[in-house]
Structure 1
Amino acid sequence: MFNRVLVANRGEIAVRVFRTLRALNIASVAVHTSSDDLHVRHADEALQVPKYLDMGAIVAAAVASGAQAVHPGYGFLAENAEFARLCAEAGLVFIGPPAQAIDAMGDKIRAKATVSAAGVPVVPGTAESLETWSDFPALIKPSAGGGGKGMIVVRSAAELPTALESARRTALNAFGDDTLLIERYIDSPRHIEIQIMADTHGNVIHLGERECSLQRRHQKIIEEAPSPFVDEDMRAKMGAAAVEAARAVGYVGAGTVEFIVDGTTGSYHFMEMNTRLQVEHPVTELVTGLDLVELQLRVAAGELLPIGQDEVRLRGHAVEARVYAEDPARGFLPTGGRVRLLREPGGVRVDSGLAEGGVVGSEFDPMLSKVVAWAPERGDALRVLDRALRETVVLGVTTNIPFLRALAVHPAVRTGELDTGLVERFLPELVGSAETPQDVVTAAALVFHAVPRGADPWEITDGWRVGEPAWTTWRLESRDGVHAVRVRGLPEVSAEVDSGPATITWSSEGVTVTVAGRTTHYAAARDGETLWLGRDGQSWAFTRHLIGDPGDRPGAAGGGDGVVRSPMPGTVLVVKAQQGDRVAEGQPLLIVEAMKMEHTITAPRDGVVTELAVKVGQPVDMDAVLAVVQEEGP
């Protein structure tokens, strides 16, 4: 076994790998960039590199640290055959499959041909003459890609040219290869994948399936094991197909074979193979009792697999939810900020790279953590997951936790009637209202009214006047606009709002607010002039509305005044209009990239671009002015 391993990754997966290394008494080495080092506190040693995609720098760091092996995690270089070769040339063991297996399965075109030759059914498609494809709906995929990035559903020939352009750009940016393929799109299928493990002695086994049908735009949201759709016979057949796919390329290590499954007939087709550890691997670990990272390490060190296929047992049910830095109420746009308060739930598994004081930026994938619940029965596992999400507190960064809770308790999810289109069909009810609840606004006003106050009694905001206390009106901005709340009196003693008597009490856990006999507890944190309140997995940010500010909260891409703002922090990727251009309402002006996803910013009205405030490659903050479109005069 190795005595020192470098982990060529960041965030929650790096922390997760460090955990197994520590359990096996193997020294861990982290790499980090100048602006991203939260994960290094969990490692024994850390070395700085220019970026996580700098293969030469990472190999040099591994050699300098005395590491014998490199674990790539997932993302970045995990499925890069050239990186595996560079590791081998430097005398380092790459904890993953051989480079030739990565090559064969990393290219979706070659992978389909390889597994088809091995007798595994595949979805009809082509990598040639994409512009003339006529079988719609169709799905465009980057050949070298993964994680759903660059995948676009096309429903007509008219949509095809623009979709191909966007997919090529995303593929080149994310994977360094703009080769695409197109396949027949199967409406409302289930997405079921098989976990395989192979050693260097020719043994290949599968560890059952994971249900990954709960997706949005091909990005997985909630995963579970085992699938509520798969019975023992189907599991054996799909598992055998996955094992054959792995054998066809001489696979070694942990890998996942993904299938599209007809939810009515149960017929399945190979989609792709991920030649790495999957984000959702914890659900397999919880139902099998196996540590997949430990198996990866042992296989890479040349050991035999410690179990055979007939010894694999699935026990109970596990469900995982991915916590993202995104705002479902604003179309799932990426968010960011500094984590001011963090409380992660007990009684469940949490794989997390978060820490209080850490900054969530737009440079990396928006996934922050994973909350994973286990129970003997599926229904109980979903209930445990919902409780854990309710107890999770992240203040300073808007997350998708309320959306995850709504999805976990949705009737279709509870009954196991899943398909890849479920989330989109029920999206409005899953996202819910964007309006800030009035009781939360009132609580925020009471907090602002209570603190801070100076030592001078004339600075106390108790509203004291001769005769009776006067009202103080607090105008607070939240993401849905400006709210006014009247308060008088001292909230710590006895105050009053329009809806009745009110008090607040402070504790180490946050603030407790009582209004008209109803008591609610909030987690609370300050971020400069912004107050964050959290409750039941939700969070709200409030700032004081100053006289002269616009009455509406700037947050949409464009406003009625023609000012075009960035709806999220990111980088300007493409500028499609220039100053002086005449544009029509809805016409694309710019493309902003955030967390490896593209977002098209359009003109808010017909007019002329009178100001272009940014250029390609420029980083922008949320609500930063990008351009101004003015109406033409008569």
Structure 2
Amino acid sequence: MFDTVLVANRGEIAVRVIRTLRRLGVRSVAVFSDADAGARHVREADTAVRLGPAPAAESYLSVERLLQAAAVSGARAVHPGYGFLAENAAFAQACADAGLVFIGPPATAIDLMGDKIRAKETVRAAGVPVVPGSSGSGLTDAQLMAAAQEIGTPVLLKPSAGGGGKGMRLVRDAALLGEEIAAARREARASFGDDTLLVERWVDRPRHIEIQVLADAHGHVVHLGERECSLQRRHQKIIEEAPSVLLDEATRAAMGAAAVDAARSCGYVGAGTVEFIVPGGDPSSYYFMEMNTRLQVEHPVTELITGLDLVEWQLRVAAGEPLPFAQEDVRLTGHAVEARICAETVSFKEGARGFLPSGGTVLALREPSGDGVRTDSGLSEGTEVGSLYDPMLSKVVAYGPDRATALRKLRAALAETVILGVPTNTGFLRRLLAHPAVVAGELDTGLVEREAEALVDTDVPAEVYEAAARARATAPARDGNAWTDPFSVPNGWRLGGEPAWTVHHLRVPGHDPVTVRTRLTADGTVEVDADGTRAPGPVTPFHHAGDWLGRDGDAWEVRDHDPVEAALTGAAHAGADALTAPMPGTVTVVKVSVGDRVAAGQSLVVVEAMKMEHVIAAPHAGTVTELDVTPGTTVAMDQILAVVVPDASAQEEA
């Protein structure tokens, strides 16, 4: 076993790898960018090495700096985690050339399976069924369009060089193929440095099932069962579980054997995942999609049902140890479900529909644990969540003797989760896990998109505003033993009379302002009056941190609202519509100039954050009168990007 291992990653996966290294008595080396100098993975490692500035290209994606970090720290091996350079054949080869052990497959296997086109051809030759689609690499836009027309819409555009759903586009309208190909190429180039695309037939109502494989350097390959990953949005997994309720023993064995064949076909060594698309109505008709030549985000569910530490076996295999168990020795016991907690604003109001990357500072944090509950996290209080890296913050995993128990435990664990200061999808995930179709195991990759809006509260509960007003009325009294100026306390106290009502103008971003009144009662408690109706205090207590309140996995930022300032701001854009950034990020494309006339729905600006693109479109026909950004501009959430004055006809219709 190695004495020192460098973890070439960040966040929750770095923390998770360090945990196994510590258990095995192996010295861990963390790496960090300037943005992560105080991060949890840096504090938990035995030693840490600075890579460079915050941008990933100058830190976590710099092969040269990672190799230097390994050299100065005395590391003998490198664990790449997932993301960044985990599936980069050049990095794996560079490690080998530097005399380091890359804890992953050989560079040749990464190179082969990293090219989805060559991967399909290779596994097809090994007898593994593949999804019908285009053939050949380096196809032009015209060739992609021709292949799509031959297959027939709907089709799926996929980057050949990467995974994780980045750059994928489902195209149902052939007329949009050109625009979608351009967008897919742009996102693939930004995410993987390679804009090669392929096109595949879209399987309606598909289920996404993957098989975990483990191979040593002595020719032994086993599979560790399957994971159901059908609950996705934008082709990104958000809930995973093991085993799948869809498969019977015969289908499980057949898919497992196909995964083993796929791994053998590329000379695989280490832990990897073979992904299949499965028609929900016919589980026996499964198709190979791709192979992920790394540890998967969802590996904990496999660990819980097999009792194996996959990171430990990555290390042992990389150190040359043979697998001490055969396929018949693998036992799947119980059920495990995982939820990915991401920095996201979940909204379905006009102008901000869907899941948008978010950021902020973690002001308060409480992560669940206990019997059958596991949290893999890179968070700590004070963590700054920016727009430079992936939005996933942590994973909450629950295990039980059966699926119903595991689901119940996970819902409870998410309700206990407190993350204040950064918008997350925690509450959404808790509601999704209670959806009747999810409880029944009737899943497909489109379920989240179809049901998402019904799982989001479009209005802020009244008790949130009441709790925020109550907190403001009592905040000075919490100041320990320090003296408080009585005239600064907003409790309505006045000389020789009953307490007066104090008016609080409050606003949750994305929602209309609300007015709430508070006053101090004779018994010293705070009375709240919302919208003219006397309201009791909230039954369920809230967690508080600054302007943030949270309960049952949900969180709200309740800001003070100044009606006068808001009126002046609105007056500055009277008769016009200001288009604002729906998330903090970077402007990558500007398609218009001041003075241009635009049509309703026309794309004007593209903002990218956490490897996700968001298109800002014109809300109506009109003229661009202001344009405050250029490509490369860093923008904050709600920052004005452009102003479009509506046409007279549009104003008359309004």
Of 113, 122, 127 in structure 2, the residue corresponding to residue 105 of structure 1 is 113
Q: Distance in 2 between matches of 1:269 and 1:73?
A: 27
What corresponds to 1:442 in structure 2?
466
What corresponds to 2:447 in structure 1?
422
Of 576, 580, 590 in structure 1, the residue corresponding to residue 595 of structure 2 is 580
Matched, 1:614 2:629: yes
Deviation at 1:582, TM superposition (A): 1.4
Query: Tell me, which stretches of 5 or more residues in structure 2 are unaligned?
Result: 53-58, 478-482, 650-654
| Percent identity of paired positions between Structure 1 and Structure 2 | 61
Whichever structure has more helix as a proportion of its residues is 2
- Alpha carbons of 1:346 and 1:332: their partners in 2 closer, same or farther (altered >3 Å)? same
Of 539, 545, 566 in structure 2, the residue corresponding to residue 519 of structure 1 is 539
- Alpha carbons of 1:589 and 1:252: their partners in 2 closer, same or farther (altered >3 Å)? same
- Alpha carbons of 1:564 and 1:469: their partners in 2 closer, same or farther (altered >3 Å)? same
Query: Tell me, which stretches of 5 or more residues in structure 1 are unaligned?
Result: 503-513
Deviation at 1:421, TM superposition (A): 1.3
Cα deviation 1:599-628 (Å, max 9, x = unaligned): 001123322222211111111110111112
If the length of structure 1 is used for normalisation, what is the TM-score? 0.94
Of 321, 328, 349 in structure 1, the residue corresponding to residue 374 of structure 2 is 349
Deviation at 1:553, TM superposition (A): 11
1:65-76 pair list within 5 angstroms: 65-76=73-84
What corresponds to 1:511 in structure 2?
none
- Alpha carbons of 1:585 and 1:276: their partners in 2 closer, same or farther (altered >3 Å)? same
What corresponds to 2:313 in structure 1?
295
Of 154, 169, 184 in structure 1, the residue corresponding to residue 171 of structure 2 is 154
1:72-221 pair list within 5 angstroms: 72-127=80-135, 128=139, 129-132=143-146, 133-134=148-149, 135-221=152-238
Which of 456-465 and 39-48 deviates more? Answer: 456-465
- Alpha carbons of 1:91 and 1:560: their partners in 2 closer, same or farther (altered >3 Å)? farther
Deviation at 1:143, TM superposition (A): 0.2
CA contact (8 A) 1:208 1:239 kept: yes
Q: Distance in 2 between matches of 1:596 and 1:385?
A: 28
The one-letter code of the counterpart of 1:440 is: V
SS in 2 for 1:264: coil
CA contact (8 A) 1:112 1:122 kept: yes
Q: Distance in 1 between matches of 2:194 and 2:574?
A: 37
Deviation at 1:501, TM superposition (A): 13
- Alpha carbons of 1:560 and 1:154: their partners in 2 closer, same or farther (altered >3 Å)? farther
CA contact (8 A) 2:472 2:490 kept: no
Which of 225-234 and 275-284 deviates more? Answer: 225-234
Q: Distance in 1 between matches of 2:403 and 2:506?
A: 43
Cα deviation 1:151-183 (Å, max 9, x = unaligned): 100112101000100000011110011000000
SS in 2 for 1:549: helix
- Alpha carbons of 1:321 and 1:550: their partners in 2 closer, same or farther (altered >3 Å)? same
The one-letter code of the counterpart of 1:325 is: A
Q: May I ask how many residue pairs the two structures share in their alignment? A: 615
Q: Distance in 1 between matches of 2:82 and 2:474?
A: 47
Cα deviation 1:180-227 (Å, max 9, x = unaligned): 000000010111000000000000000000000111111001000000
Matched, 1:594 2:609: yes
Q: Distance in 1 between matches of 2:154 and 2:567?
A: 44
CA contact (8 A) 2:516 2:530 kept: no
What corresponds to 1:365 in structure 2?
390
Matched, 1:256 2:273: yes
What corresponds to 2:486 in structure 1?
457
Cα deviation 1:499-558 (Å, max 9, x = unaligned): 7999xxxxxxxxxxx9637533111001xxxx111111111111111131336999xxx9
SS in 2 for 1:100: helix
Q: Distance in 2 between matches of 1:359 and 1:598?
A: 21
What corresponds to 2:332 in structure 1?
314
Q: Distance in 1 between matches of 2:565 and 2:470?
A: 22
CA contact (8 A) 1:500 1:515 kept: no
CA contact (8 A) 1:140 1:180 kept: yes
Q: Distance in 2 between matches of 1:95 and 1:451?
A: 52
If the length of structure 2 is used for normalisation, what is the TM-score? 0.91
Deviation at 1:494, TM superposition (A): 2.5
- Alpha carbons of 1:145 and 1:244: their partners in 2 closer, same or farther (altered >3 Å)? same
Matched, 1:489 2:520: yes
SS in 2 for 1:608: strand
